[in-house]
């Protein structure tokens, strides 16, 4: 990922700076009894710093084999320190030959694998450092270096992981924005050509009647389907596991069913949105079954104070008084089960208002 580039460059700078510090300590002969061997270790460190810096600059090589080799090489240089220090190992003023250079692989593991990988590398390197101190006689065991290595691995790994996640979110946002711009462009082109032709065919067919009316009806259905397609905005469903109720409701739109939704998403948990849309579908099925194929219906969805309200209104003959109770007694569960039952399980409420000769309105209220 591009966001990792600055991290790897920073690690390269750290390796070079810490190598320079180790060379300065070696030049001062800070208690080293075997300086020739010490300079040999420094030579290995110089070669590996150059090789690791070059290898980590290639994204394809930033894999676990390189990370493991990096850890082993640095750990070997650290474990060679007792042979360089001799009897002076652990005395005041003496420092392991690699000094702070040992933190390089810890930082690399943290950037590549996150805080857990950084912690594992820090534990391995700290174990080598503590083993050197345990071997030194009459020397107090200090864990300051081990603690700093562990904190560095965890903190850098956590920051690197956050940066990667932020880059992924940004990339998804850019892709969705580009897709939406293309969708808007296509929607404008379609609206200026295909949708207008379909709408014209629909209106003319209804006026002419006969077979032309059937063609007009089909054109109207295709117009509604095409409008749903260009109006559907992917990526506006909110958090994972949620859904935009508008998108589900628009699937019910047709030449006989008009669906009106707000401009902003009606985000609900996906199961809730699907069940709410199913309840609306059941209400529309009742319209077709009891009001005839020519009946029109209107679906209106709107947000409220902690609620989402969806109403389904038709221009049919209405429901005679007591008919719903009779249907329930006869075992017909269309309203009681498919609508009221669904909504009740979601913690919502259903109200039905019907006037004979003036149509029926089913209002579904759900907690947002």
Q: Is the separation of the CB atoms in 276 and 315 below 8 Å?
A: no
When mean pLDDT is compared across 38-42, 73-77, 138-142, the lowest value belongs to 138-142
- Collect all residues with Cβ–Cβ distance below 8 Å to 177 and sequence separation of at least 6: none
Q: Which residue has the tokens 């089960």?
A: 337
When mean pLDDT is compared across 80-89, 279-288, 334-343, the lowest value belongs to 334-343
Residue 119 pLDDT grade (very low, low, confident, very high; cuts 50, 70, 90): very high
pTM of the model: 0.54
**Beta bridge pairs of residue 242:** 269
pLDDT in the model for residue 143: 75
When mean pLDDT is compared across 96-110, 198-212, 235-249, the lowest value belongs to 235-249
Task: Please report, for the chain, how many H helices and E strands are present, in that order.
Answer: 13, 7
Query: What pLDDT, in 10s, does the model give residues 243-295?
Result: 888 888 888 887 788 888 888 888 888 888 888 988 898 888 888 878 877 78
Per-residue pLDDT, averaged over 74-94, amounts to: 76
- To the nearest 10 degrees (0 to 180), the angle between helices 144-190 and 211-231 is 160
Question: Angle at the Cα of 246 (from 240 to 252), degrees rounded to 5?
Answer: 125
Most confident of 22-31, 89-98, 186-195: 22-31
238-368 has CATH 3.90.660.10 classification = no
Q: How far apart are CA 347 and CA 35, in angstroms?
A: 79
pLDDT in the model for residue 235: 47
Per-residue pLDDT, averaged over 79-86, amounts to: 84
Q: Which of 29, 22, 31, 128 is nearest to 75 (CA)?
A: 128
Residue 280 tokens read as: 């609306």
Q: How far apart are CA 290 and CA 68, in angstroms?
A: 73
Per-residue pLDDT, averaged over 146-167, amounts to: 90
Of residues 68 and 241, the one with the higher pLDDT is 68
Q: Rounded to whole angstroms, what are the CA distances from 216 to 119, 211, 258, 287?
A: 69, 9, 17, 21
When mean pLDDT is compared across 163-177, 183-197, 208-222, 344-358, the lowest value belongs to 183-197
Q: Which of 243, 250, 234, 244 is nearest to 264 (CA)?
A: 244
Q: Is the separation of the CB atoms in 111 and 4 below 8 Å?
A: yes
Residue 211 has pLDDT above 50, yes or no: yes
Residue 337 has pLDDT above 70, yes or no: no
Per-residue pLDDT, averaged over 44-67, amounts to: 93
Residue extents of the structural domains in the chain? 4-170, 238-368
Q: Fill in the DSSP letter of residue 59.
A: G
Q: Which of 83, 63, 79 is nearest to 132 (CA)?
A: 79
Per-residue pLDDT, averaged over 149-159, amounts to: 91
Q: Rounded to whole angstroms, what are the CA distances from 252 to 38, 283, 292?
A: 79, 11, 17
Q: How far apart are CA 351 and CA 339, in angstroms?
A: 10
pLDDT in the model for residue 227: 67
């Amino acid at each position: 990922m591009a966001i990792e580039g600055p991290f790897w460059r920073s690690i390269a700078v750290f390796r070079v700076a810490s190598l320079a510090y180790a060379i300065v300590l070696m030049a001062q002969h800070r208690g080293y009894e075997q300086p020739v061997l010490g300079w040999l270790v420094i030579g290995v460190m110089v070669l590996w710093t150059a090789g690791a810096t070059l290898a980590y600059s290639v994204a394809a090589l930033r894999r676990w084999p390189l990370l493991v080799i990096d850890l082993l090489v640095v750990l070997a240089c650290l474990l060679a320190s007792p042979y360089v220090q001799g009897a002076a190992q652990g005395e005041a003023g003496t420092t392991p030959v690699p000094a702070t250079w040992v933190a390089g692989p810890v930082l690399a593991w943290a950037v590549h694998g996150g805080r857990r990988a950084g912690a594992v590398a820090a534990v391995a390197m700290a174990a080598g450092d503590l083993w050197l101190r345990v071997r030194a006689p009459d020397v107090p065991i200090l864990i300051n270096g081990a603690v700093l290595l562990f904190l560095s691995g965890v903190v850098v790994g956590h920051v690197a992981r956050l940066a990667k996640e932020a880059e992924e979110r940004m990339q998804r946002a850019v892709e969705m924005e580009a897709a939406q711009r293309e969708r808007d462009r296509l929607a404008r082109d379609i609206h200026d050509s295909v949708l207008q032709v379909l709408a014209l065919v629909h209106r003319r067919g209804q006026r002419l009647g006969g077979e032309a009316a059937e063609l007009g009806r089909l054109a109207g259905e295709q117009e509604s389907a095409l409008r749903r397609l260009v109006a559907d905005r992917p990526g506006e469903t909110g958090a994972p596991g949620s859904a935009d109720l508008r998108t589900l409701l628009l699937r019910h739109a047709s030449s006989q069913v008009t669906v009106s939704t707000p401009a902003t998403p009606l985000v609900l948990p996906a199961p809730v949105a699907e069940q709410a849309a199913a309840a609306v579908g059941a209400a529309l099925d009742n319209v077709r079954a009891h009001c005839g194929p020519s009946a029109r219906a209107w679906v209106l969805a709107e947000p409220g104070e902690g609620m989402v309200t969806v109403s389904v209104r038709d221009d049919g003959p209405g429901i005679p008084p007591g008919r719903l109770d009779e249907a329930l007694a006869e075992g017909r569960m269309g309203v009681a089960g498919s609508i009221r039952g669904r909504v009740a399980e979601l913690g919502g409420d259903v109200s039905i208002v019907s006037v004979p000769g003036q149509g029926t309105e089913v209002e579904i209220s759900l907690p947002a």
